Amino acid sequence: MAFANRALALTYWIDGKSCTGDRSLAKAMEETKYMGAKASERLRSSTDTDFQNVYEFLMKRKKSDKSELDTIEGFMSDVGKMTEVNDRNSANVRIYCDDEQRWKPRLDPKTKQKTGGYEDPDNWIQYSALSIFSYPGCHDTRGGNRFTYAQSYKTYMAGEPLEKQADLRATITMCELGLLHKGKRRRVFSELDEKLDLTKASGVEVLKFHPSKVILHELSHYHGYNTIDNGYFIKPDGPGTTIRQLNAEELMKNADVRSYLGQMAILADKGYTFQRKPLDSAPQREKDAWNANMEIGKLFLYPNLTKRSLKRRMERLARRYNKV
């Protein structure tokens, strides 16, 4: 379910106290919105055959499946239309870079003993931990080390908020792993060196932790979209399930696949996309190489992607006209 037909577009607020300096998310959020807008535009295009290829490969379904396409395009459109507000309590999405410091342990009102779980009174949102030893996402250390790049929360606390809040709201925490790499701010895609040749990389996975992509992933968990984390990444990154192991129905519920669609939409601005499929008459070795490249998300560079797709469309129409 998308909210494109709502009277008001979704709004967001970025915490000015924690998201500063190397933890600033101003550029990342603008790029996230651009991802949404470009993905929506490319999904609505009838001539962008390269992005159609991206969509059908990642989603494991035809673009002609209109209901499912409308669901994905609607989400992207909503993200592209998000507007920033200065008032936290009126915002639908509140973004923090505080490493979960705002959370307070839930206490029994009578005994004042910890009962498990945490509360965020400023946003009137709670985190229902499994036990008193469980912590909000950024501090989860199952396996010995922190592994969370960002975490969304949308379960409301019981009772009436101390301050009036937006009826629909959620918070996103960008964790230290999602903000910093080797002590330095993670750059957004637009800040990468223009001379960087992504075709020499092993695949699109080299960009999997870009903050703008991470934010898009988290936004898909918002009320109404309700995606889940039933798979991560294109290539295996540990023992978990990858998005390539999910079927078409499971992918419709998946958060990470939407973040890849958004990322691929802006990579296309620079001419990058997945490899174009060989002709049916191509040698089997070419088809095998194509399959191998697709499964790792390898990027290829094709100048003027959309223009090329439009040109091919016009050529087909011209040939059809000439046969009449």
pLDDT at 26: 94
Q: Tell whether 2 is covered by a domain.
A: no
Read off the tokens for 102: 């705002």
pLDDT at 321: 44
Q: Tell whether 209 is covered by a domain.
A: yes
CATH value at residue 46? 3.40.390.10
Read off the tokens for 176: 């230290």
pLDDT at 238: 77
Q: Tell whether 1 is covered by a domain.
A: no
| CA-wise closest residue to 210 among 25, 6, 10 | 25
Helix (H) or strand (E) holding 120: strand 114-120
Domain that holds residue 197: 11-323
Residue 268 is given by DSSP the state G
pLDDT at 320: 46
Q: Tell whether 107 is covered by a domain.
A: yes
pLDDT at 211: 95
Q: Counting Cβ atoms within 10 Å, is residue 308 exposed (0-12), middle (13-18) or buried (19+)?
A: middle
**Single-letter code of the amino acid located at 35:** M
Q: What is the largest CA-CA distance in the chain?
A: 85
Residues in the chain with pLDDT values less than 50: 1, 3-8, 132-133, 314, 317, 320-324
**Single-letter code of the amino acid located at 29:** M
- How many angstroms separate the CA atoms of 176 and 270, rounded? 29
- How many angstroms separate the CA atoms of 258 and 113, rounded? 41
CA count, 13 A, side-chain hemisphere, 49: 13
Q: Tell whether 199 is covered by a domain.
A: yes
Read off the tokens for 260: 């890849």
CA 276 to chain centre: 24
| CA-wise closest residue to 167 among 227, 104, 223 | 223
pLDDT at 12: 98
Q: Tell whether 23 is covered by a domain.
A: yes
Q: How do 93-96 and 170-174 pair as beta strands?
A: parallel
| 82-to-9, 30, 179, 203, 253 alpha-carbon distances in Å | 6, 10, 21, 30, 22
Q: Tell whether 6 is covered by a domain.
A: no
Give the predicted TM-score (pTM) of the model. 0.90
Number of domains in the chain: 1
